[in-house]
Amino acid sequence: MALINKRVRQARVIRVFRKVHRITGILLFFFFFIVAVTGLLLGWKKHSRGFILADTKTGSSKDLKTWLPIDSLQSLAISLLHQNISPTLSNDVDRIDIRPEKGVVKFTFKDHYWGLQLDGTTGKLLQVEQRRSDFIEHIHEGTIIDNLLNTSNGQFKLFYTTVMGLALILFTVTGFWLWYGPKRMRQYK
């Protein structure tokens, strides 16, 4: 009798887990699909021949003593941004990525997905890049919604990553139990 009760309880638990697994999967299918596709693209960004993430160019000198001051390079980058892409683009710099080993300074901007690579010594424009990897990353983590809604503190990203992380944990636990539960039930025969 005790074995039958254990088997009945085990079957009930498996049914509940299957239902939770199915309902969560149905509700979050679209989001899991987006996370999977964007994660795959981000994993391949350095192997995309410059399409997703532009290759870093090489400047004329690795010696930082010969480089122009950062404020001069930033002024040049903003001027080159307006000359080469559009004079209406925001010039708010998000990041300055200094690569002394390559002799390059990369500038990325806050309000659009364009970047510039400048020679650290001469200030010469080495590359204009469309920052597809940043765009994909913003989709992947939900930042794109915060940008569209103009939220102040990344509230959507926090909510989105929390829900998706908890759902992944839930899928892992329920999926494991859907695999292991029937094996365990066979022990109660």
- Rounded to two decimals, the pTM is 0.80
The predicted structure's pLDDT at residue 12: 86
Tell me the average pLDDT of the chain: 91
The predicted structure's pLDDT at residue 166: 94
Side-chain-side CA neighbours of 141 within 13 Å: the count stands at 13
Given a contact cutoff of 8 angstroms between Cβ atoms, the answer to whether 68 and 123 are in contact is yes
Q: Can you read off the two tokens belonging to residue 45?
A: 């960004």
Which contiguous run of DSSP H or E holds residue 163?
Answer: helix 155-186
If one counts every other C-beta atom within 10 angstroms of the C-beta of residue 109, the result is 22
pLDDT tens per residue, range 69-125: 999 999 999 999 999 999 999 999 999 999 999 999 999 998 899 999 999 999 999
Tell me how far apart the alpha carbons of residues 150 and 107 are, in angstroms, rounded to a whole number: 23
In this structure, what DSSP letter does residue 1 have? Answer: -
Spans of all domains in the chain: 2-45+138-186, 55-130
> Which residues, at least 6 apart from 19, have a Cβ–Cβ distance to it below 8 Å?
none
Question: 3 exposed, middle or buried (CB, 10 Å; 0-12, 13-18, 19+)?
Answer: exposed
